Structure 1
Amino acid sequence: MSAAEADDRAESIRMIRDSAAAVVPPDGDLKRIRALRFQEPGFDPAMLRQMGEMGWIGLRVPEALGGAGLGLGEMCALAEELGRGLAPEPLIQAALSAQLLAAAGGKGALAKLLSGEALLLTAWQERADTLEAPGTPEATRLFLPMAGGATGFLLPARIGDRLALHEVPASAVRLETAPTQDGGFLGTITPPRDLGTPLATDIGPALTEALDEAALVTAAYLLGGMERAFAMTLDYLRTRQQFGRIIGTFQALQHRAADLKMQVALTRASIEAAAAALDAGVRGDARRAAVSRAKARAAEASLLVTRQSIQLHGGIGYTDDYDVGLFLRKAMVLANQFGSAALHRRRFMAVSPEVEA
């Protein structure tokens, strides 16, 4: 990449961050988030429409199909800013569906999905902690975030040796939802026998790539959350007094804060390196290794940083009224989405070119 191209890319990412800040202030209060907790569907449909109008759902969709045609660097920057604000809208899941509809040639409700008018969720998961989509036609589909707000679902279904894609309206499935630790909801759906409208006969490769990208973007969301929680903790350490001294002057607490800062920095480096590699066109095992390195680190670091942030706040950190705890709750829910740290460590060891056979 030339210097001019690098500058253009940096400017594009800066503009994405600025647009996110206009909708979800990165250091604003969390009253909106608190008001949505444990209230079906768990997010604000009007906010999702606004995200669609700003082009976020179609950020990775080619311009010819109505998207922005931008890279993972921009998508990860956007997710990071949303993570700082704990935005509950299922943007990552909507973007995954948009990529599949784009791979299907723009069939189905792509335009409505990109605008935020409709919410299509891809029901690919049949068991816990996996990135594999078996596509068993009659299988119950699990762990669909904010499924109560979906207008329809995309169903990957294996027909012969290929993974076909079908679209089914929400009214045609049996849906059950359960609350999550952060105040959102996960859905379980039972598909109809006819599987709905066929959109594509072979979506397997596109789904594999889209799931990897969703894992990386989820890692970026976790990075934004842990960074905000750490910033809140530093502010607390600089102002809270104990025994007549600012507690941030205590050496033991300084050491703990330094360790957390290192975790945040390493997570950022891993995510940015993975996004740059995928945008440069890396394929195969090297692609999977880059994603798994980033997701494993983000999953573990987000839980470590948010837990330590609560501890460093002392007793007030454990109260539900204090905002820092919301970041731990979010990390507890997202750490395992699109693969846990354990899954991604195993995959990294299996595919990493740095590991000798």
Structure 2
Amino acid sequence: MDGMMEQDEAERRESVRMIRESAAGLVPRHGDFARVRALRYADPGYDTAIWQAMGEQGWIGLRVPEAHGGIGLGMAEACALAEELGQALAPEPLVAGALSARLLAAAGDDSLLPALLQGRSLVLTAWQEAPDSLEAPGTPGAPRLFLPQAAGAETLLVPVAEGGALALYAVPAAGQALHLQRTQDGGNLGTLVPDLAGARRLHGDVGAALAVALEEAALVTAASLLGLMERAFAMTLDYLRTRQQFGKPLGSFQALQHRAADLRIQIALSRASVEGAARGLDAGAAPDRASAAVSRAKARAAEAAMLITREAVQMHGAIGYTDEHDIGLFLRKAMVLANAYGSAALHRNRFLEKADPLAA
């Protein structure tokens, strides 16, 4: 039994390593940010060629079962991928696209899912009706909020409460009342007032599938924040080693060393929380325990990312506050991701509700 467990763990580590390598080949973590800057404040806000390449790599369907055209990997791999993309500040809406892929697979769809998995289209799920929420009431006719990179969506999935269940409808984005707003990082968010006249009903009840998909989206977003804070911290350390003041590197000053040590601890705690939650979901943890672990990871990652990116800007001095310096891109992205799929406050409250006080 121990030998089998060790083999499973070795295979899991190898799978995670391969995912990281594939990500590094497409969006290098140590590359520059010319691509990211070129896509800011322009529609659709991401690179459609990179989106298609992500589909070809299998990333959009990473959590979709093989029977539905995905590759059926676990949350450990999904979080490793998100961490790498967070390092590169990739603007492509992979989390939202993967959520839609999970729903389409659960609905048994064979019309929209293949093109989404191949990155030839973007399908977004209009589930959110209130700010700072992780619930999908499906209120008929209610505006749906915060659709990421909605300027590029071709199809919108709309969950609607019907007879005690949550039905799923598909509508073409063209012709829908979709209002776009710019985000701090230069992307866009859409608000949809759904018109289901002529919509196609895909399934009568996707409530359970959507709940699982939202849990996974929250955890993957935490992993994105982990990658983001790691890169911002590494860039700051490099700056402190090279920038001179009073004839000495800034990094030689004890006050800055203490601040850097505190930030390193926050990164380590965030990593432990994200990886622990991923292991729990992959091992089939009980729903409340899994939700508590996800909330702990998202709350910690959101708060740590905001702290670290703000400190990074401050440690860069005046140049850190200019838009021309790349360190500010990390703070802007953190401001967007910190509240996606639930803020730190929401997840702290949910952790208190779900956590077992007697659990080890």
Whether the TM-score (by the shorter chain) exceeds 0.5 is: yes
1:10 and 2:10 matched: no
Equivalent positions of 1:185-334 (< 5 A) are 185-194=188-197, 196-334=199-337
> What do residues 257-281 of structure 1 show as CA deviations (whole Å, max 9, x unaligned)?
0000000010001000000000001
Distance 1:92 1:166, change over 3 A: same
Distance change >3 Å, CA 355–CA 328, structure 1 → 2: farther
2:357 partner amino acid? E
SS at match of 1:2: helix
Deviation sequence 1:136-172 (CA, Å, 0-9, x none): 1211111001101000001000001000011111124
Q: In the TM superposition, what are the counterparts of 1:117-156 in structure 2 within 5 Å?
A: 117-156=120-159
- Give the Cα separation in 2 of the matches to 1:109 and 1:204: 19
- What is the 5 A alignment of 1:71-90? 71-90=74-93
Q: Deviations over 1:95-152 (max 9, x none)?
A: 0000001111234400010001111000000110000101012111110011010000
Q: What is the alpha-carbon root mean square deviation over aligned residues?
A: 1.1
Quote the Cα distance in structure 1 between the aligned partners of 2:350 and 2:232: 29
> 1:239 corresponds to which letter in structure 2?
T
Which residue number corresponds to residue 94 of structure 1? 97
Deviation at 1:247, TM superposition (A): 1.2
What's the offset of the Cα at 1:354? 2.2
Q: Which SS does the other structure have where 2:190 is aligned?
A: strand
CA drift of 1:206 comes to 0.5
Q: 1:20: how far off?
A: 0.2
TM-score, normalised by the number of residues in structure 2: 0.97
Equivalent-residue separation in structure 1 for 2:78 and 2:17 (angstroms): 12
1:54-90: CA deviation from partner (whole Å, max 9, x where unpaired) = 1000000001111000000000000000000000000
Which residue is equivalent to 1:352?
355
Is 1:36–2:39 an aligned residue pair?
yes
Q: CA separation of 1:263/1:201 partners in 2, compared to 1, >3 Å: closer, same or farther?
A: same
Tell me the CA shift for residue 195 of structure 1.
6.4
Between the aligned partners of 1:266 and 1:185, the Cα distance in structure 2 is: 31
Deviations along 1:227-247, one digit per CA (max 9) or x if unpaired, are 000000000111111001111
In the TM superposition, residue 306 of structure 1 has moved relative to its aligned partner by 0.4
Local SS of the residue matching 1:234: helix
Amino acid at match of 1:267: S
Q: Identity percentage over the alignment? A: 63
Aligned to 1:175: 178
Structure 2 distance, partners of 1:195, 1:166, is 10
For residues 102 and 175 of structure 1, the distance between their equivalents in structure 2, rounded to whole angstroms, comes to: 25
* Aligned equivalent of 1:49: 52
Looking at structure 2, the residues matched to 39 and 221 of structure 1 have their Cα atoms a distance apart, in angstroms, of 22
**Aligned with 1:198: secondary structure?**
strand
Could you tell me which residue of structure 1 aligns to residue 169 of structure 2? 166
Segments of 4+ moved more than 3 angstroms: none
Shift of 1:283: 2.5
Question: What residue is the counterpart of 2:67 in the other structure?
Answer: 64
Range 16-25 or range 107-116, more displaced: 107-116
Distance 2:110 2:164 in 1: 22
Structure 2 distance, partners of 1:285, 1:55, is: 30
Supply the distance in 2 between the matched residues of 1:136 and 1:254 (Cα, whole angstroms): 52
- Helix, strand or coil for the counterpart of 2:161? strand
Q: Please tell me the residue identity of whatever aligns with 2:330.
A: F
User: Given the superposition, is the C-alpha separation of residues 115 and 286 from structure 1 closer, same or farther in structure 2, using an over 3 Å criterion?
Assistant: same
Contact 1:101 1:108 in 2 (8 A): no
Q: Which runs of 5+ in 2 are unaligned?
A: none
How far has the Cα of 1:174 moved from its partner? 1.1
Counterpart of 1:210, as a letter, is A
Give the whole-Å Cα distance in 2 for the aligned partners of 1:103 and 1:195.
Answer: 22
